[in-house]
Amino acid sequence: MGLTVSATTLAVALMAPFIGVVADVLGRKRIITTALFALGLPTALIAAADTLQQIVVLRFIQGLLLPPVFAVAVAYIGDEWPRDRIAGVTALYTTGSIVGGFLGRFIAGWVADYSGWREAFLVLAALNLVGALIVVALLPRERNFVRAGGLIESTRLMSRHFRDPRLVATFAVGFGTLSCFVTLFTFINFYLAAPPFGLSAAGLGSLFVVYLFGAFVTPLIGRLVGRFGRRRLVMVAIAAWAAGLLFTLIPNLSAIFVGLVIAACSGFICQAVSTGYIAFAATSARSSAVGLYVTAYYLGGSAGAVVGGVAWHWFGWSGCVVQVWIVLAIMGMIVLHFWRELPPAMGAARAMR
């Protein structure tokens, strides 16, 4: 079952840097809208799958179509908004991702419980089509996009990002963030579906209401970055995340819910701050910079699914928690060492005005 998660995240990791290079040549909106429409097809085909292997392949195809949406969208934000507003606008974009993440799980869980898992994927495919139509109608064409000289030149510019240790460190933070997220929010389902909890599919889907707490936090990130700085804010989020996991070890649904709320909010803060920094710091070949970050981010997700599966198999939920603690500790050391020389957040306090 872990392959149904890691197949998607691995495909995202493989595609992200290439689509970044292409987007730096072809532009933004055209790629975003094409991918959104195409994404509905494998989502609908999963409903007709006969084997787990077919589902894994279709999930891989879904993953190939995701970077043209969100990696290019973050680059679009970096192009179209002033630098002192990037942190705030990226946080708003993250808020939309959080709400979408919740609705996908919530709607699929309830539809699967009452109609079946195949019908759930058909509903998700229909929602994908509606979203694509909305983006076509409302997203303005890029105005400030600067086209790279060609694929070779765009690739050369992408390679420069590896020379900036702060960007490489941010890639590592992204890797750790999704690794922890996937481990927690994949294997908590196995934990809560088993005795003594025995939650149904609808109950497990409803559990992801914890994502909505993150939707209240992320719009504030622009102001928080301006007040506390990226480094301090992320360190507080990592510490809170580690502390919140203690609640999930208490065999009580209310305590586990509180722990997951803390973990979700902390993870979304780490993600929004890291993504915003990539869009802020990469002054050229921005799509490829975001693409590299997305590659690291989703490689972390694949690692979280695989290693989390091993931890679950041998040690159960407590093993998953210990694994996440280790990754959080490494993330904290990276942030302390490499984010020290970050430039100040230029006007980030005004980002949400």
- Alpha-carbon distance of 267 to 253, in angstroms, equals 21
How much is the pLDDT for 260?
A: 94
Enter the CATH code of domain 2-142+151-341: 1.20.1250.20
- Alpha-carbon distance of 128 to 4, in angstroms, equals 19
How much is the pLDDT for 153?
A: 61
The CA distances from residue 209 to 190, 259, 328, in Å, are 17, 13, 23
Burial of 147 (0-12, 13-18, 19+ CB in 10 A): exposed
The CA distances from residue 315 to 185, 281, 307, 311, 350, in Å, are 17, 41, 12, 6, 47
For residue 42, give the amino acid letter: P
The residue to which tokens 């997203």 are assigned: 139
Give the tokens for residue 26. 């072809």
Report the 10 Å Cβ neighbour count for 296: 23
- Give the 3-state secondary structure of residue 50: coil
Q: Are the CB atoms for 262 and 206 separated by under 8 Å?
A: no
pLDDT tens, per residue, the chain with 353 residues: 767 877 887 888 888 777 767 776 677 888 899 999 999 999 999 999 999 999 999 999 999 998 888 778 877 887 788 777 777 787 788 788 878 888 888 888 889 888 888 999 999 999 999 999 999 999 888 887 666 655 666 666 666 777 778 788 889 999 999 999 999 998 999 999 988 888 887 788 777 788 888 778 877 877 887 788 888 999 999 999 999 999 999 999 999 999 999 999 999 899 888 887 776 666 666 667 777 888 888 889 888 988 998 999 999 999 999 999 999 999 999 998 887 644 444 433 333 33
Report the 10 Å Cβ neighbour count for 239: 13
Provide the residue ranges of all domains of the chain, joining segments of one domain with +: 2-142+151-341
